[in-house]
A and B are shown apart, each in its own frame.
Chain A
Amino acid sequence: MADAEFAIEIDHVSRIYTRDEFEVRALDDITIKLPNGRFVAIMGPSGSGKTTLLNLIAGIDHATSGKVKVGGEEITSMRERDLARWRARHIGLVFQFYNLIPVLTAFENVELPLLLTDLSKAERKQHVETALKVVGLADRMSHYPRQLSGGQEQRVAIARAIVTDPTIVVADEPTGDLDAKSAEEILSLLVELNRMFNKTIVMVTHDQRAVRYVEQVFHLDKGILAGIEPGGRAPASGAQAASN
C-alpha cells in the first residue's frame, strides 16, 4: 500500500442513481490521480457530486462504471465483506455532524474502530490515548458527546478517524456544523495531521475558508470535474487530474 505512487486513482468513474423511474447521473466520467500525502478539497454547489465522489473513495458506495484505486488497491470489484475489512484498515471517516455514538465516552468512541483489529485492550488504550492527545482532548476522555462542544466532538471524530492509522482520511463537510473559530481549529488540526503524519486527506466542503488550508481544490459541477485549482498551501508534488 505504501509503495503505491498514488493514494487515489479514479479512472473514468461514473455513478448513476435510480430514483423511482428517474436516472440521476451524480458523477460523469471523472478521472483523478492524487499522490500520497496530499490534503485536498472537493468543492462545488449542492448536487454536484462531491459527497458521491467521497463515498466512492471511502468504499461505502459503488461506481456504476470506471475504476477506483486507493493505495494501489482496486476497490470497485471488491465484495462487501472484503470492502468492509478494507475500510477498517485504510479509511478514516469524518462527518459533518460528527456521528459519535452518544452512549459511549470520547475514549470509547475513539476505541470503536480498534475493536476490529487484533490489538489487546492495553494496546487499544495506548492508541486511543495517543489519538486523543493528538487532537488535544487527552483531558476529555471520559466525557460523553453531550458533554462536549461541537468543535470538541469533531476533534473526537477526527481522533476516531486516525486512531487506526488509515491510509486516507476522508472528511465530509467537517466544518459544516461549526462556528468560525471551531472551523478554523478543525482545519488547522487537519493540516497538522497532514504535515506531521503525511496523511492523505480528502475533504468535501462548501467553506471558502478551507481553500487556505488545502494544497489543491477539485471543483465539481453537475457531476463533472470542472477544474483544479491550487490551494493556499503549496503541495509537495503535483497532482494530476483529467476530465472527459
Chain B
Amino acid sequence: MKYLSLIVKNLIRNKKRTALTVFSIAVSLFIFSALISMPTAMTQVLADTAASNRVITHNKSGLTYSVPLAYRQKIAVMPHVIATSSMSWFGGILHDVNDQFPNMAMDHEQAELLFPDWGLTPEQWDQFKKIRTACVVGADTMKRFNLHVGQQIILKGTIYPFNVTLNIVGEMTGRTQRTFIYFHRDYLEEAAGRPGFVSNIWVAVDKSDNVPQLISAIDEQFANSSAETQTESESAWIGGFLRQYRLLLSLFEILGVIVVVTVGLVAANTAAMSIRERRGEIAVMRSMGFPSGTILSTLLLESLVIGILGGLIGCGGAYVALRVFSGPQLGNLVIRMPSAVVFETMIAAAVIGLLSAWIPARAASKMNIVDALRLVA
C-alpha cells in the first residue's frame, strides 16, 4: 500500500505509452475472449439443450438418408419408450433464400410429452395438435421476421417442389429451438404424396438409466434391414453436429492464443523499454536500501495493472459485443460469453502483465548498482 502512489505515478509517467499498451492488450484480449467463447458457448449449448432421456434414431448411412416411417411404430412399442415423434426436414424459406432458418415437419400427437422444454403453454400445445396447418415458431425467428401468434405464413419449399401455408399457434420461448419452425408431418406427407420416409425419429425414454439399453435394442431391431439405424442420445446427436465445426473451433482457439502471445511479446518490449529508461532511478532506489524483491514487485505490479486494465477493457468489450451482435446479426447464432471465458481472459491478462515485465524487471532489480549509476552519470 505504501508503494501505491509510486506505482500509480510510474504508470502515468508516459500516459500515451501506457494507454497504447493497455489498448493493445485490450484488443488482443477482445479477440481472444470472443474467439474462445465460440467453442465454449457451443459446448454450453450442448449441455443446456440436451435432455438426458431423449434419443434420436436416424439412418446409419448418414443424416441425409431417411428411415422408413414404419420404424416409429416398432420403436413405440419397445420397453421404456414413453413417446415418439418422427421428423422430416422441410428446408423452406419465408421470403428470401438468404433468410435461412431450420424448419421441420413432426408428428404432433406426443410432441408435448417429448418436448416439455420448448416453452409452449398447454393451450398452445392443444392448438398445435388440433389444427392441421398449425405451426410453432421459435422466439428468435418470430422476432427476426416480425411474426406474431395468429399470423398465417407461407413456407416456400426449396427441397420439396411446393409451399406450405401455416398458421402460427405458439411461440417457443424455451432455451432451445429459438430459431426453429415445426409443423404437422401428416400435412407435409399428404402434400408430398405420402413417401413414407422420415429424416429421423425422436424417442422419449422413461428413465435416463435405460437410454443405453434402448439404443442397443433399437439398432439391433433394424440391423441387416435395408435402412439400418444409428440411435444416439440427444447430447451425442447435437455433439455430432458440433463435431463438423471442430476444426473451425480449434482454429478459433489457436488464433486466440496466437494473438495473445503476439501482443504479450509487444507488451514485453514496451515493458523492457519503460524499465530500461528507469534503470538509473532503480539504481538510486537500490542504493537507498530498497531490496531487489521490493523493486521487482513494484515493477511487476505496474505491469500487472496494465494487463488487468487491458483485460477488463478487452473482455468487457467482447462481452458487450457478443450480446449486441450475436443472434440475428450472426446468422441466428446466439453466443454468450461463459463465465469460464471471463476467468480465463483475466488470467491471460494477468499472465501477459506479469510475464511481459518479468525479465526486464528482474534484470533491473538485480543490476549492479555501481554500473547502473555510472550509466546515469
Q: How far is the CA of A88 from the CA of B5 in the complex (A)?
A: 20
A89 on the B face (CB < 8 A):
yes
B290 touches which one: A84, A95, A103 (CB < 8 A)? A84
A86 and B289 contacting across the interface, CB-CB below 8 Å: yes
B370 and A115 contacting across the interface, CB-CB below 8 Å: no
Q: A95-B373, A97-B377 are in contact. Are A112 and B289 (CB under 8 A)?
A: no
Residues of A within 8 A of B145 (CB): none
Residues of A within 8 A of B2 (CB): 115
B9 touches which one: A60, A95, A104 (CB < 8 A)? A104
A21 on the B face (CB < 8 A):
no
Q: How many contacts between A and B, using CB within 8 angstroms?
A: 69
Q: B305 to nearest A CB, angstroms?
A: 15
Q: How far is the CA of A108 from the CA of B290 in the complex (A)?
A: 15
What 0/1 pattern do residues 91 to 112 of A give for CB contact below 8 A with B? 1010111010111100010001
A133 on the B face (CB < 8 A):
no
B173 on the A face (CB < 8 A):
no
Q: B276 to nearest A CB, angstroms?
A: 15
Main secondary structure of the interface of B (DSSP, over half): helix
Q: B290 to nearest A CB, angstroms?
A: 7
A99 and B284 contacting across the interface, CB-CB below 8 Å: yes
B289 and A108 contacting across the interface, CB-CB below 8 Å: no
B289 touches which one: A87, A96, A104 (CB < 8 A)? A87
Interface size class on chain A is 20 to 34
A93 and B10 contacting across the interface, CB-CB below 8 Å: no
Residues of A within 8 A of B92 (CB): none
Residues of A within 8 A of B12 (CB): 103
Interface size class on chain B is 20 to 34
Q: A103 to nearest B CB, angstroms?
A: 4
B285 on the A face (CB < 8 A):
yes
B281 touches which one: A86, A99, A113 (CB < 8 A)? A99
A60 and B370 contacting across the interface, CB-CB below 8 Å: yes
Q: A104-B9, A108-B5 are in contact. Are A58 and B287 (CB under 8 A)?
A: yes
A88 and B288 contacting across the interface, CB-CB below 8 Å: yes
Q: How far is the CA of A97 from the CA of B284 in the complex (A)?
A: 11
B94 on the A face (CB < 8 A):
no
A61 and B291 contacting across the interface, CB-CB below 8 Å: no
What 0/1 pattern do residues 299 to 342 of B give for CB contact below 8 A with A? 00000000000000000000000000000000000000000000
> Which residues of A in the span 62-91 have a Cβ within 8 Å of any Cβ on B?
80-81, 84-89, 91
A95 and B369 contacting across the interface, CB-CB below 8 Å: no
Residues of A within 8 A of B10 (CB): 103
Residues of A within 8 A of B289 (CB): 84-89, 91, 113, 116
Q: How far is the CA of A60 from the CA of B376 in the complex (A)?
A: 15
B110 on the A face (CB < 8 A):
no
> Which residues of A in the span 108-125 have a Cβ within 8 Å of any Cβ on B?
108, 112-113, 115-116
A55 on the B face (CB < 8 A):
yes
A101 and B281 contacting across the interface, CB-CB below 8 Å: yes
B13 and A115 contacting across the interface, CB-CB below 8 Å: no
Q: A95-B373, A104-B6 are in contact. Are A84 and B286 (CB under 8 A)?
A: yes
Residues of B within 8 A of A112 (CB): 6, 285, 288
Given contacts A86-B289, A97-B376, A101-B284, 6 further A-B contacts (CB under 8 A): A61-B369, A61-B370, A96-B377, A101-B285, A115-B2, A160-B288
